[in-house]
Amino acid sequence: MRSGDARREILHAIRTNLESSPPVQSSPSPERRGGQGVRTPEGRGGQEVRIKHFTEQLAAVGAQCTTVRSETEAAAALARILADAGARRVVGSDAPLVQRILAAVGNDIVIDRLERLSRDELFACDAGVTTAQWGIADTGTLVLESARERSRLLSLVPPIHVAVLSVRCICESLGDALARLSVASHAITFITGPSRTSDIELTLVVGVHGPQTVHVLLMEGP
């Protein structure tokens, strides 16, 4: 088998070359590695501090945020966001919360289910609504896990992405979030603000391949 040969050859080349140089003494022990200090899930401040930090960072990276206290409020906020943007065709993920909020949004907007859409139809959508499994306060980041929800394309293809996030799921730092993630999800996506490029004369353009608008509905309460 050629592939097996290549594998053997490469591993052999690595071992032979490693043997020809003396081993380093400075290689750290597994205990010392990381060395970041232990971070409690509560982090440096309480939840209030974390929420404030998160919303500040969201603004810094160009994402919008609306705080809501119930599903009814979330639906009203979503209706406003969609109306302001002139969005006509909206698709929601399979998360029950998203489905309930979309059902409560007025019926003058075409609301589709992802599984019914062809690739071309998906490309013609104005907005995608998903939840986010985690938020990261330090960086204003949303974390989406594929095992929890089908949100991979809806958070990417339409020009507007609305993500519902519970305030209880805001982590302090990137390290905290990584510690909570499970690779049971074949795709984990970190989203920090809208899609952006500076490839032409270093001029910032927002919304290249991904969404131009990222709007977080931050759910307070139980």
Partner 1 sequence: MTFERDARTALADGQLRGALRQATTLFGERRRAALATVPDWEGARDRARAIKDETLEHLDRYLEEFAANAERAGACVHWARDAAAACDIIGGIAERRGARTVVKSKSMASEEIHLNAALARRGIEAVETDLGEYIVQLAGETPSHIVVPAIHKTKAQIAALFADKLGIAPSDDVATLAAAARDALRRRFAEADLGISGVNFAVAETGTILILENEGNARMTTSLPHTHVALMGIEKVIPRFADLDVFLQLLPRSGTGQVLTAYQSLITGTKRRAEDEGPEELHIVLLDNGRSRMLASRVTRQALACIRCGACLNACPVYRQIGGHAYGSVYPGPIGAVLSPQLFGLARSAALPYASSLCGACRDVCPVKIDIPALLLHLRAQVVAEGVAVGKGHLRERLAFWIYATVMVRPRLFAWLMRAVRSLRIMPPLGAWTKWRDLRPLAPRSFREQWRAGLGDQRGPDA
**Sign of torsion, CA 215 211 98 109?**
positive
> What would the x/- binding string for partner 1 be over residues 39 to 68, using CB under 8 A?
----------------------x-------
Phi, psi of 59 (to 5 degrees): -65, -40
The residue count for binding partner 1 (CB under 8 A) is 71
* Residue number with CB closer to partner 1 (35 or 222): 35
CB of 190 to partner 1, least distance (A): 4
CB of 6 to partner 1, least distance (A): 4
* Ramachandran assignment for 172, one of left (phi > 0), alpha (psi -120 to 50 degrees), beta (any other): alpha
* Residue number with CB closer to partner 1 (48 or 120): 120
**Contacts of partner 1 in 143-172 (CB under 8 A):** 146-147, 150, 152-153, 156-157
* Residue number with CB closer to partner 1 (142 or 219): 142
Rounded to 5 degrees, what angle do the CA atoms 114, 61, 64 make?
A: 55
171: nearest Cα among 139, 128, 147, 126: 139
**Contacts of partner 1 in 12-31 (CB under 8 A):** 13-15, 17-18, 20-24, 26-28
Helices in 20-153 by DSSP H: which ranges?
47-60, 71-85, 96-104, 119-123
Does residue number 190 form part of the binding site for partner 1 (CB under 8 A)? yes
CB of 69 to partner 1, least distance (A): 29
Asked if residue 221 lies in contact with residue 97, where contact means CB atoms within 8 angstroms, the answer is: no
Contacts of 65 (CB under 8 A, 6+ apart): 55, 58, 59, 215, 216, 218
**Contacts of partner 1 in 87-146 (CB under 8 A):** 115, 119-120, 123, 138-139, 141, 146
